[in-house]
């Protein structure tokens, strides 16, 4: 076979599209507005259009609050964005110290959204603030319980003074003296073991010569 015969056979071998490819292309042409084409085949479908949900969240979660940035400072800082409805910082019930997170509620949901976008990862006193919108369905019903109360720090000095100056019975006084004597013996043993020549003064008072009731008064 010569060169002319080979070229003629090559010209004859023209690739024809398969029937499956033709059907897919035809379906695409007929369904130009389709957004979803099933992998198993069949007619294409257009996905339903979902309207974006309207933003109604007005409560913001604020995390990583630095020390010293409390209620008054926070209100003075965030009121530049808009009207603040309520504000609360989580505090320890025992010590009253800040737990470094809180919540703030604005009058307008648009303002709350702007604050969440602007103040998230904002550097404040070497702390990166974490600000997130809280949907209305996730706001706890007791979140703002007692928010109008004025915070008063716990006076632990007065509590300890009252506990120390309370009246004690004979049994309580004897238990107190026994504990003092046991600690004194352990202290003297540690001093002797260290090789220190020191005469510890004797503790006045006895367990058996205690009054029926003892009341400690301030000097």
Where along the chain do its domains lie? 59-138, 155-219
Q: Which residues of the chain have pLDDT under 70?
A: 1-53, 204-219
Question: Can you give the pTM of this predicted structure?
Answer: 0.51
pLDDT for 183:
92
Q: How far apart are CA 166 and CA 170, in angstroms?
A: 13
pLDDT the model gives residue 202: 76
Q: How far apart are CA 15 and CA 201, in angstroms?
A: 114
The pLDDT of residue 93: 80
Other CB atoms within a 10 A radius of the CB of residue 87 amount to 20
pLDDT at residue 214, rounded to an integer: 47
**How high is the pLDDT of residue 22?**
44
pLDDT at residue 111, rounded to an integer: 95
Q: State the fold for domain 59-138.
A: Alpha-Beta Plaits (3.30.70)
Distance of alpha carbon 197 from the chain centroid: 56
Give the closest residue to 58 by CA, choosing from 119, 109, 4, 120.
109
- Is the torsion defined by CA of 194, 195, 198, 200 positive or negative? positive
């Amino acid at each position: 076979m010569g060169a002319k015969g080979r070229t003629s056979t090559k010209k004859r071998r023209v690739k024809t599209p398969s029937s499956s490819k033709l059907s897919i292309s035809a379906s695409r042409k007929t369904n130009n507005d389709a957004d979803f084409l099933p992998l198993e085949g069949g007619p294409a479908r257009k996905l339903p259009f979902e309207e974006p949900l309207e933003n109604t969240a007005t409560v913001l979660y604020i995390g990583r609050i630095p020390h010293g940035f409390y209620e008054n400072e926070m209100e003075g800082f965030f009121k530049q964005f808009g009207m603040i409805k309520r504000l609360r910082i989580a505090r320890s019930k025992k010590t009253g110290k800040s737990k470094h997170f809180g919540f703030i509620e604005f009058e307008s949901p648009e303002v709350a959204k702007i604050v969440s976008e602007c103040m998230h990862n904002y550097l404040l006193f070497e702390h990166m603030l974490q600000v997130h919108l809280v949907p209305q369905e996730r706001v706890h019903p007791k979140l703002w319980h007692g928010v109008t109360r004025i915070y008063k720090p716990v006076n632990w000095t007065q509590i300890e003074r009252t506990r120390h100056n309370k009246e004690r019975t004979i049994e309580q006084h004897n238990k107190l003296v026994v504990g003092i004597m046991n600690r004194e013996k352990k202290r003297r043993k540690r001093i002797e073991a260290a090789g220190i020549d020191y005469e510890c003064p004797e503790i006045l008072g006895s367990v058996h010569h205690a009054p029926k009731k003892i009341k400690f008064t301030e000097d």
